[in-house]
Structure 1
Amino acid sequence: MTKPHYISSLCFLLIALAVLTSCGAERNMKKGEKYLALGEYFDAANEFKQAYQKIPPKQRDKRGVAAGKMALCYDKSLQTAKGIAAYRNVIRYNQAKTQDHLSLAQLLMKNGSYKEAAAEFQLVLDSMPDNVLARKGLESSKDAPTIKEQGSRYTVKKMDIFNSRRAEYSPMLFGDEFDQLYFTSTRNEAQGDELSGITGTKPADVFFSEKDDKGKWSKPEPVNGGLNTAYDEGVCCFSPDGREMYLTQCATDPSYPRYAQIVKSNRSDAAWSKASEVKLSNDTLSSFAHPAISPDGEWLYFVSDMPGGKGGLDIWRVRLTAGGFGGVENLGEPVNTPGDEMFPTFRPNGDLYFSSNGHKGLGGLDIYIAKIGKDHKYHLSHPGYPLNSQGDDFGMTFEGPHNQGFFSSNRGDGRGWDHIYSFYNPEIVQTVKGWVYEMDGYELPAAEVYVVGDDGTNEKLSVRSDGSFTKVLNEGVTYLFLATCKGFLNHKEEVRALTNPKESRDTTLQFALANISAPTLIDNIFYDFDKATLRDSSKTALDQLVTLLNENPNVTIELSAHTDYKGSEAYNERLSQRRAESVVNYLIEHGIAADRLTPVGYGKLKPKTVKKKLTEKYPFLKEGDVLTEEFIKALKDEKKQEICNQLNRRTEFMVLRTTYGLFDEQGKLKKQPKKKTEGSKKDLQEDGYSIIFD
């Protein structure tokens, strides 16, 4: 072969290779665009990277475009270091737009490169002086080193028991004792066989861990019962009563973008059901994610990019009603910004915690606290370092009223994986822990507790499945708590929070509610032997009955006394009648109107019927047993016989009416209902009678 022919053949080969390479790059670019449109950023980044590598260095424009696409996908898939390198290539090939400089600056903040980030933010402001995100970013880059140096009272610790080599995030404590932790994870134990095109890992599932009596957490396991699927599930929250779980689900569709949606699962027999969609809007082109229920159970907060927001992802809310969902509303400023606001959650005291990259911070997503002020507006604060870091910090959950719990962060992880951390802030907290239950019975989870404070507090508290509730108190405020439940009498308690307390203080309140339709035992009533004289040791229980009758002024009762089977029927009736009258006389002496009280001595005519609660103390008894003379004598054990006789020797009351004093002789209401007014007064109605208290 002559030299000219050799040169000609070589040129042809090089041209052919260039054409083939160019075609390959175009194919990769097209595949990358398809993945990008579907939101599958991990797969898209790989395609754009291959295209970039195939494009000859001399084709600077094309290389710059491919680098820009690659950088965007690395940014979205939390690969910070790769994203920074890609954006630098976009700049090197003179293809950078203002948005690229802004995105590079934000990634440099996540990398802790504050001086370099400041230079990029300044470049953006030079061409766009009104860019809010660049202005906030420049302030952040200048102040971040000082904020980190100052620190805070928070301490954080990485929780290795919960973490794997993949991502774990958005922990959420559950249970009356906060001894269960639910969280999202992409670890290998998650369902599904294919890797996610978004993250390059298994699709996320919801996992949980339990704490034993010694405080040790168990190895996390996936939630069973049909909650998890081959799709992405995660970022869950719970209704105040613990019966419903709201979470985010992102189903796969090869033809459409991945729009996140909120779904709901119900708890039955300690298992979570398969989730069903929660339809918050007719908008089918926006994402709905990151649900959070307000402590009073009246609002569902969530994140969406629907039209009408401030830009990026915003926090919205919708009212929860018995008939469904109300209209959605944007939280607006100062919470939402042109950036992204995500992962809302609540501390039990009502403070809203969320994460944002649009406010002044340390880099990435920072956690912010939004408190409602006396002007009924949100006021924001930044909890500082080390709760916040240069990475993404988000997904708070609180262990009761105290400022401790868990959150998630990708700080210090070179691959950008999120992990779960504990946090603790030793602040002084005053709380009330209350229990609502039936007198001589079990807890009342259907009860409602109203609280009014002389600082203007006026709210309804949710009661958990064990009948308990918790309220964080403000210093120096006097609170009135009223527990109500349909079919039961009300009960109220008053508590005053200390001013300038030196340490945390927990106050325990018991709300024992009397059943309106069944006899209620008055425990610890004692008489002299064979007499109707009340012993001094009875006064505590009787004073409590006085309080109950004063709290329920529209109630009349029958006050009954009972004896065991020993002695004649006539004698027992006379003795029990005198004893019932002794109790009534005590109540009258302490201000209870005589016409509200009816004393009756039943003697041995009404032996006690055993309730389930009593069987826990006396296992030889069964629910429904009637302690008749025949039943007692059939017991071979004399001690058991004496226990039954003691149970029969009792004093009880039964509600007769709930309308005392409400109507005049013509049957008309004596007082018309008062109009609701602003202030500390609360007007409640329950079972036909009204209580107004200051």
Structure 2
Amino acid sequence: MYKYLIILLLLTHAAYAQDVEFSKDHFGNDKDGLKAALRELKQGDEWYLNDPPRYEQALPHYLEAQKFNANNAELNLKIGDCYLHSGYKPRALAYLQKAYKLNADVDPRIHYLLGRGLHLNAKWKEAIVEYKAAQPAAGGKNTAAFMTNIRKKITECENGQKLMQKPSRVFIDNAGPGVNSPYADYGPVISADESVILFTSRRNNSTGGQNDPETGGFFEDIYQSTRTSTGWSPARNLGAPVNTEGHDATVGLAPDGQRMLVYVEDNGGDLQESNLRGATWGKPQKLGSRINSKYHESSAAFTPNGRNLYFVSDKEGGLGSRDIYQIEIEGRGPAQNVGSVINTPYGEEGVFLHPDGKTMYFSSEGHNSMGGYDIFKSVLENGKWSEPENLGWPINTPDDDVFFVISASGRHGYYSSFRDDGLGSKDIYQITFLGPEKPPVLSQEDQLLASRAQPVKEALLAPPVPIASAQVTILKGVVTDEATKQPLEATIDVIDNQRNEVIASFRANAQSGRYLVSLPSGVNYGIVVRQEGYLFHSENFDLPSGAAYSEVVKDIALKKLEVGVKVVLNNIFFDFDKATLRKESTSELERLQKLLTETPALRLEISGHTDNVGNAAYNKDLSQRRAKAVVDYLIGKGIDKGRLTFAGYGDTQPVAPNTNKQGRQLNRRTEFKVTGK
């Protein structure tokens, strides 16, 4: 009896695992259904066997045929193969496993395909077993390349095992319906303060309204959304002239959100730049032959000062299939490969430079990738890039993870991914970095319980561990006319006071007057806001090395040149308790000299002011000597002394309360007043 039971079980298993053909022998009672299924198979094969294969178009036909017959090994293998070439690669595994179960000899590639399916589902150990069982095609000419690929895939699985054991502490959340749609949404770029996001999408309201003949989807267009108190606003299509009837994709955005880098399918793939004037993005302009070539330039990022560009190209002479290059935009020299610390023998992509000016994020198929492209981080220290650090699981996955950007604060990152909670085929996600885990510590106090004779020690969580923040300050606000309150398209110069050098220039938005400046730590900055017909306005930000991230909102009202108008010179510096001008004052003094030279009738009073700390008489004398030092400098530069007077007011004209450090700092100042014009 037992023997017959074993035979019955084996027969039952064999029946379940039988490879069922699409034939009259199996489906003679449903001729119409068989006919329809064969038609779907034929249509699917036309796409699948195309050169190159059109997996996305073949898949829906195969899935329809599979509804009729779910137990055909070859069909399950084809469905799995199609999924391996789609955005939903992990779905391939179930079909590939079924194909193998139905017929272990279904295809010579079966072990490799199973390895890929397991790999993409983070089943590292099982994937390694299948990769090791994979064999190159019989009589094939690329055996060496195949085995090299197998070894790399095994290494990726080993990397994945290690990285998954120490996952990154993050939340990954869908960016929501304001940004995402039922269509593919990807390639996000953000302003430094996360107030604006632009991205690429294949929606049905694309500018050309046409379908891509290669993929069947709509052509790419660029969309924009702004952050509100409740999330992202409904994204709007930028329209012409940014979007055209062809493919238009986001690549990069300057920290202030006023300059955008665009990818267009021209000359093999080129980079262009569009500038924001008011609320309208201008027609993208080519970046020139020093950046674009006959090869494929696919992604790029501005440095915070807007003067340099990092970009990706597959041009000849690189270290791998795609490399990252750096170039001075207005210079004359050729682009420079960033070197072998960053670039590998494989592909690099999706370069992004953090607003701190020294931290690069990029994707790579090399280094310790766990599969496809992983996102890495490297820091420029003493002129050299640090060893790239994998951002880890679950940010990185066994599939391609590309085009990652991060806010100036370092708190939020953005990228696109295929996930189960997606609203469409591909969605944009926000990553929230949580920082290091808080270790448990024993409380110093005993917890007394009435039922115990002895006190019980209770393990309590340690105080919160501070999250390491980026070393950058974001200065933003609105520039207006002081009298009319109307916004001004002013120029904002960023000066390194120590070197007396303008290191960056930006413009406030023509319509809103809004501006944003990224200031990496480690520099004494002079900020000068200027507009024709107005007196300049200056601010000072002395940011020591290691200064943590902060956002400063500073609205600036420019004053027209009128008698009686006062302007504070925030970048005039003196030695402590002396009237000796420091060299960091040079840029501000030169601006004042230029103002007097360009306006020959202008007459000024230079005044010094102090807080109320110390002896009033001494403060007045010190403030007067400092004002005189400025006048003496200007006279020494050729300004007629009859146009200048000086005065020391000590603590008699405060502009803020002397009750706190910030107020006293504001009261210690040098300013000028227009006495004639």
TM-score (norm 2): 0.61
Contact in 2 for aligned 1:408/1:420 (Cα 8 Å): yes
Distance 1:222 1:328 in 2: 33
Distance 1:470 1:150 in 2: 33
The answer to whether structure 1 residue 336 and structure 2 residue 343 are counterparts is yes
RMSD of equivalent CA atoms: 5.8
Which of the residues 36, 50, 56 maps onto 1:42? 56
Contact in 1 for aligned 2:270/2:298 (Cα 8 Å): yes
The alpha-carbon deviation at position 352 of structure 1 amounts to 1.5
Q: Which residue of 2 aligns with 1:179?
A: 195
Moved more, 380-389 or 424-433: 424-433
Contact in 1 for aligned 2:163/2:392 (Cα 8 Å): yes
- 5 Å-filtered alignment, 1:603-614, equals none
Contact in 2 for aligned 1:240/1:462 (Cα 8 Å): no
The alpha-carbon deviation at position 392 of structure 1 amounts to 3.8
- Structure 1 residues 216 and 79, CA gap change in structure 2 (3 angstroms): closer
Contact in 2 for aligned 1:42/1:197 (Cα 8 Å): no
The alpha-carbon deviation at position 188 of structure 1 amounts to 3.1
- Structure 1 residues 416 and 115, CA gap change in structure 2 (3 angstroms): farther
The alpha-carbon deviation at position 419 of structure 1 amounts to 1.2
- Structure 1 residues 518 and 598, CA gap change in structure 2 (3 angstroms): farther
Contact in 2 for aligned 1:151/1:384 (Cα 8 Å): yes
Q: Which residue of 2 aligns with 1:409?
A: 417
Q: Which residue of 2 aligns with 1:551?
A: 586
Instruction: Give the residue type in structure 2 aligned to 1:551.
Output: T
- 5 Å-filtered alignment, 1:600-679, equals 600=642, 651-652=673-674
Q: Which residue of 2 aligns with 1:445?
A: 491
- 5 Å-filtered alignment, 1:578-617, equals 587-588=627-628, 592=632, 595-596=635-636, 600=642
- Structure 1 residues 445 and 192, CA gap change in structure 2 (3 angstroms): same
Contact in 2 for aligned 1:190/1:203 (Cα 8 Å): yes
The alpha-carbon deviation at position 369 of structure 1 amounts to 0.9
The alpha-carbon deviation at position 182 of structure 1 amounts to 0.9
Q: Which residue of 1 aligns with 2:352?
A: 345
Q: Which residue of 1 aligns with 2:523?
A: 479
Distance 2:120 2:555 in 1: 50
Which of the residues 532, 538, 542 maps onto 1:495? 542
SS of residue matched to 2:129: helix
The answer to whether structure 1 residue 432 and structure 2 residue 454 are counterparts is no
The alpha-carbon deviation at position 589 of structure 1 amounts to 7.1
Contact in 2 for aligned 1:248/1:260 (Cα 8 Å): yes
Which of the residues 109, 121, 124 maps onto 1:111? 121
The answer to whether structure 1 residue 163 and structure 2 residue 180 are counterparts is yes
Q: Which residue of 2 aligns with 1:560?
A: 604
Q: Which residue of 2 aligns with 1:660?
A: none
Q: Which residue of 1 aligns with 2:657?
A: none
| Gap runs ≥5 in structure 1 | 1-9, 11-20, 252-257, 526-538, 563-580, 604-649, 656-694
Distance 2:88 2:515 in 1: 47
| Gap runs ≥5 in structure 2 | 1-23, 25-36, 137-142, 435-466, 509-513, 597-601, 607-620, 646-671
Q: Which residue of 2 aligns with 1:265?
A: 274
Query: Structure 1, residues 255-289: CA drift from partner, whole Å, max 9, x if none?
Result: xxx95443443433422244455554799874332
Instruction: Give the residue type in structure 1 aligned to 2:468.
Output: I
- 5 Å-filtered alignment, 1:48-127, equals 74-81=83-90, 93=105, 96=108, 105-123=115-133
The alpha-carbon deviation at position 326 of structure 1 amounts to 5.2
- 5 Å-filtered alignment, 1:120-159, equals 120-123=130-133, 134-159=150-175
SS of residue matched to 1:211: strand
SS of residue matched to 2:127: helix
The alpha-carbon deviation at position 237 of structure 1 amounts to 1.6
Q: Which residue of 1 aligns with 2:204?
A: 188
The alpha-carbon deviation at position 218 of structure 1 amounts to 1.3
Q: Which residue of 1 aligns with 2:248?
A: 233
Moved more, 380-389 or 143-152: 143-152
SS of residue matched to 1:227: coil
Distance 1:80 1:549 in 2: 58
Distance 1:404 1:45 in 2: 36
Moved more, 192-201 or 220-229: 192-201
Distance 1:26 1:224 in 2: 40
SS of residue matched to 1:447: strand
SS of residue matched to 2:388: strand
Distance 2:644 2:287 in 1: 57
Distance 1:118 1:460 in 2: 52
Query: Structure 1, residues 440-465: CA drift from partner, whole Å, max 9, x if none?
Result: 89674352433769xxxx99345453
SS of residue matched to 1:141: helix
TM-score (norm 1): 0.59
Contact in 1 for aligned 2:291/2:335 (Cα 8 Å): no
Query: Structure 1, residues 380-437: CA drift from partner, whole Å, max 9, x if none?
Result: 0012233223444332233334332422222447999321111222533343344798
Which of the residues 283, 289, 299 maps onto 2:298? 289
The answer to whether structure 1 residue 460 and structure 2 residue 509 are counterparts is no
Aligned residues: 531
Query: Structure 1, residues 58-92: CA drift from partner, whole Å, max 9, x if none?
Result: 9x9xx79x978x87765444341565578776995
The alpha-carbon deviation at position 348 of structure 1 amounts to 0.9
- Structure 1 residues 340 and 95, CA gap change in structure 2 (3 angstroms): farther
The alpha-carbon deviation at position 170 of structure 1 amounts to 1.5
Instruction: Give the residue type in structure 2 aligned to 1:218.
Output: S
The answer to whether structure 1 residue 245 and structure 2 residue 260 are counterparts is yes
The alpha-carbon deviation at position 203 of structure 1 amounts to 2.3
- Structure 1 residues 177 and 344, CA gap change in structure 2 (3 angstroms): closer
- Structure 1 residues 157 and 71, CA gap change in structure 2 (3 angstroms): closer
Instruction: Give the residue type in structure 2 aligned to 1:432.
Output: T
Query: Structure 1, residues 615-652: CA drift from partner, whole Å, max 9, x if none?
Result: xxxxxxxxxxxxxxxxxxxxxxxxxxxxxxxxxxx932
Distance 2:48 2:135 in 1: 31
Contact in 2 for aligned 1:168/1:408 (Cα 8 Å): yes
Contact in 2 for aligned 1:83/1:107 (Cα 8 Å): yes
SS of residue matched to 2:473: strand
Distance 1:208 1:594 in 2: 49
Contact in 1 for aligned 2:580/2:626 (Cα 8 Å): no
SS of residue matched to 1:119: helix
Instruction: Give the residue type in structure 1 aligned to 2:168.
Output: S
Distance 1:260 1:235 in 2: 13
Contact in 1 for aligned 2:326/2:338 (Cα 8 Å): no
The alpha-carbon deviation at position 50 of structure 1 amounts to 11
Contact in 2 for aligned 1:348/1:401 (Cα 8 Å): no
The answer to whether structure 1 residue 220 and structure 2 residue 238 are counterparts is no
Which of the residues 410, 427, 431 maps onto 1:419? 427
The alpha-carbon deviation at position 367 of structure 1 amounts to 1.4
Identical amino acids, percent of aligned pairs: 19
Instruction: Give the residue type in structure 2 aligned to 1:408.
Output: S
Which of the residues 518, 533, 539 maps onto 1:470? 518
Contact in 1 for aligned 2:193/2:474 (Cα 8 Å): no
Instruction: Give the residue type in structure 2 aligned to 1:315.
Output: D
Contact in 1 for aligned 2:183/2:201 (Cα 8 Å): yes
